[in-house]
Amino acid sequence: MEERLSKGPSSLRQGSLKSSLSGRSTPKGSPTYRRLNSSRTPRREARSGAGGTQWFRSNRVVYWLLLITLWAYLGFYVQSRWAHGHKKEEFLGFNGDPRDKLVDAEQNTRRDLLTDDSLVAVNNITSKTQVHVDRKIDVILAKKGNGFTSRKKRSKRRRRNLPKVRDKLKAKTNTENGDAEGQELEILQKNSTFGLLVGPFGSLEDRVLEWSPEKRSGTCDRKGDFARLVWSRRLVLVFHELSMTGAPISMMELATELLSCGATVSAVVLSKKGGLMSELARRRIKVIEDRADLSFKTAMKADLVIAGSAVCASWIDQYIAHFPAGGSQIAWWIMENRREYFDRSKLVLHRVKMLIFLSELQSKQWLTWCQEENIKLRSQPALVPLAVNDELAFVAGFPCSLNTPSASSVKMLEKRQLLRDAARKEMGLTDNDMLVISLSSINAGKGQLFLLESADLAMNEDPLQTGSEVKKSLDIRQDQSSLSVKHHLRGLHRKSRNLDVSSTNLRLFTSVNTTNAVSINGTHRRKMYDSKGAQEQALKILIGSVGSKSNKIPYVKEILSFLSQHAKLSESVLWTPATTRVASLYSAADVYVMNSQGLGETFGRVTVEAMAFGLPVLGTDGGGTKEIVEHNVTGLLHPMGHPGTRVLAENLRFLLKNPNARKQMGMEGRKMVERKYLKRHMYERFVEVLTKCMRSK
């Protein structure tokens, strides 16, 4: 009995008591407890609806997190509706105060102006007209919605939309330009009265020479000072455009040489106008698409920045504003010589490390303008004239880095003769034709119309005046012609003994058979004969570059109008497209004409290229042409403008009558190129610039 009592309390203490629904305490092991709690396992309790509610109410942290999430979502929704242009009165359901409208208008106007300025800075739009157009577009885009938008969101939308709008404007402009260029090509191709379009001859060069520029493996002289200076360096080259003209081509070849010598090169292109983009890609020159922030960051990391035109002034100005110390790493290679280019660049001339010019006359002219404007440069300008690249020197027969045992300079001279014969055959020329070429963009500054006027005078010796003035004008011209011929030949005789010039020959050269006059379209023209009585060579003119982005279409039409009035001359005029493959053109030619007007050609890279191929140069007496061409030795000079047309006509007539004089002048020109204008001479000058401007390692 005592044992039962002693076990009872202990058993009660060991068994837990649970309050039932009736309020009674039921032992845990009893049947009643098991029956009541058989369905209330933890897993089933969690799955039951009442249990889930109890669990949710017991976890208040989750409850508050959900409330906060809903509140934040509602706030973001309201702000997004507000920011995407919905008006306050429509969104909130009441009319706003007019005073609020004025405040909003002022804020929107201020934001529009700020956005315009940032866009102009980001996109680096240098043209005033383009800036004006872009600002109009920006204002329209900004006022499309009158609500408030953060500057970052607005700038992102604008950066997405502005290229589309700008592409439409460019497409419209390109369509207009394309129509003009297409009209130019169509006129030249279909209207036979304006001459014949020939070339390009790239495939012909590859077939005859058995070599093409694509096969080049690098032209760097690893042992030279230039290679040692630029090895493992980072350089940025700034192109103002990509047209097939002197400045962009020279910068492209500089970039190629730098890459060949182990430098890292990045190109900043301010305008993609022209056709050199594919050539840059072929040469593996990295082009930075962005002209603002990305180009500035790349330039800041570079050892040297070389800008290749006065047109780069806007980029230089913005770069120095972005990075004030950047001017000390810029070498500015200026290739223009007109006052308008000085005016657009004068504000930053004194902020760059060094100016580089092409010729002595150009350097003197710019220094004079700097003195007039009280501009003090940071250092003395350097002179780095352009040179004949290795590809052309290779074809012309000069020893260069591209020569191999199977393609020596002697063998290349033989192949050049084969190239000449093949190109002239495709042009429809004979051995009795003297081909005069002028390769440049077609505009008034290059003087193609004056060249054609001179050619017409050379082909037609009869003056157009009538009455007593005819005889007087004819006598004067004959005297000038005789003196000109004597002067030309005597000058040549001083330079070389190979040319046999005697008084008898002078009289024979100056006497022209005036018989056998024929009538062509009502105008009397004379057949010209040389001293031996054989018919002289016929004059042919080849003009390039058709289709160039730098051509002035009104000037082209003016030339075509002139040719339409001179049918006989138009039959002697050939045209060729813009191209970088010009070796065949130089090989086929007999004379080169550099007829630049104004201040003359800044330098004239085509001048030294023509001299490398043994062509005498007829150039204007000014600019860099005067420094390159030695009168009566490597060519003949004439005045600019209309007064120079008659002198140029006399010079053409002189070379037409004297093939030996042509040959002798060409030989002297090749000698001058070999002394001064090959690639190694240019990079020797560049070594001095790099030494002074490049950052030390």
Q: What is the 3-state secondary structure (H, E, C) of 53-82?
A: HHHHHHCHHHHHHHHHHHHHHHHHHHHHHH
In DSSP terms, 519 is beta-bridged to 524
Q: Looking at the structure, tell me whether residues 329 and 403 fall in a common domain.
A: no
Confidence at residue 695, expressed as pLDDT on a 0 to 100 scale = 64
Query: Mean pLDDT over all residues of the chain?
Result: 75
Contacting residues for 164 by C-beta, under 8 A, at least 6 apart? none
What's the N-to-C CA distance of the chain in angstroms? 108
464 or 520, which is more confident: 464
Share of the chain above pLDDT 90, in %: 51
Buried b (16+ CB within 10 A) or exposed e, 424-459: beebebeeebbbbbbbbbbbebbbbbbbbbbbbbbb
Q: Are residues 433 and 318 in the same domain?
A: no
The distance of Cα 502 from the centroid of its chain, to the nearest Å, equals 52
Calculate the CA 190 to chain-centre distance. Answer: 30
Quote the pLDDT of residue 335.
94
SS3 545: strand
Position 52 scores a pLDDT of: 58
Residue 401: pLDDT band with limits 50, 70, 90: confident
Q: Which residue has the higher pLDDT, 82 or 122?
A: 82
Q: Do 440 and 542 meet the contact criterion of CB atoms below 8 Å apart?
A: no
Residue 255 maps to a domain = yes
Query: Angle CA(380)–CA(386)–CA(390) in degrees, nearest 5?
Result: 140
364: containing domain: 225-386
Last residue of a domain, one of 336, 363, 386: 386
Instruction: Please indicate, yes or no, if residue 325 is contained in any of the structural domains.
Output: yes
The residue that leads in pLDDT, 17 or 60, is 60
The better pLDDT of the pair 473, 291 is held by 291
Cα separation, 33 vs 384, in Å, equals 107
Q: What is the mean pLDDT of the segment spanning 480-484?
A: 43
Amino acid letter, residue 484: S
Nearest to 635 by CA among 613, 612, 618, 657: 618
Tell me the CATH number at 563: 3.40.50.2000
Strands 234-239 and 264-269: parallel
What are the helix (H) ranges across 461-541? 468-495, 503-510
Return the top range by mean pLDDT from 12-26, 36-50, 417-431, 479-493: 417-431
Helix residue ranges, H only, 283-406: 293-301, 313-322, 339-345, 360-372, 390-396
Whether residue 327 lies inside any domain: the answer is: yes
Query: Residue 627: is its pLDDT beyond 60?
Result: yes
For 140, counting Cβ atoms within 10 Å of its Cβ (0-12 exposed, 13-18 middle, 19+ buried), the class is exposed
375 and 428 share one domain: no
Q: Assess whether 285 and 431 both reside in one domain.
A: no
What is the pairing mode between strands 25-27 and 196-197? unpaired
pLDDT at residue 196, rounded to an integer: 83
Instruction: Indicate whether 672 and 559 sit together in one domain.
Output: yes
Q: How far apart are CA 418 and CA 302, in angstroms?
A: 46
- pLDDT number for residue 32: 56
The pLDDT of residue 550: 85
| pLDDT tens digit sequence for 295-318 | 999 999 999 999 999 999 999 999
Do both 371 and 448 map to the same domain?
no
Q: Is the dihedral of CA 25, 27, 28, 34 positive or negative?
A: negative
Residue 98 has pLDDT above 60, yes or no: no
- Total domains in the chain come to 2
Q: 378 and 404 share a domain?
A: no
- pLDDT band of residue 160 (cuts 50, 70, 90) is low
Using CA atoms, how far apart are residues 645 and 638, in angstroms rounded to an integer? 8
CA nearest to 258, candidates 295, 286, 300, 296: 286
Predicted confidence (pLDDT) at residue 275 exceeds the cutoff of 60: yes
Cis peptide before 200, with omega less than 30 degrees from 0? yes
Residues 374 and 398 in one domain: no
**Would the pTM count as exceeding 0.75?**
no
Taken as a whole, the chain contains a residue count of: 697
Pick 153 or 434 by higher pLDDT.
Answer: 434
Banded model confidence at residue 216, pLDDT cuts 50, 70, 90? low
Assigned domain for 597 exists: yes
Higher pLDDT, 69 or 673: 673
- Check whether residue 451 and residue 339 sit in a common domain: no
Give 633-674 pLDDT, tens digit per residue: 999 999 999 999 999 999 999 999 999 999 999 999 999 999
In a domain, 618, yes or no: yes
Alpha-carbon torsion angle 456, 458, 464, 466, nearest 10: -170
Q: What is the mean pLDDT of residues 326-341?
A: 94
The alpha carbon dihedral of 207, 210, 212, 215 has a sign of positive
The predicted pLDDT at position 77 comes to 73
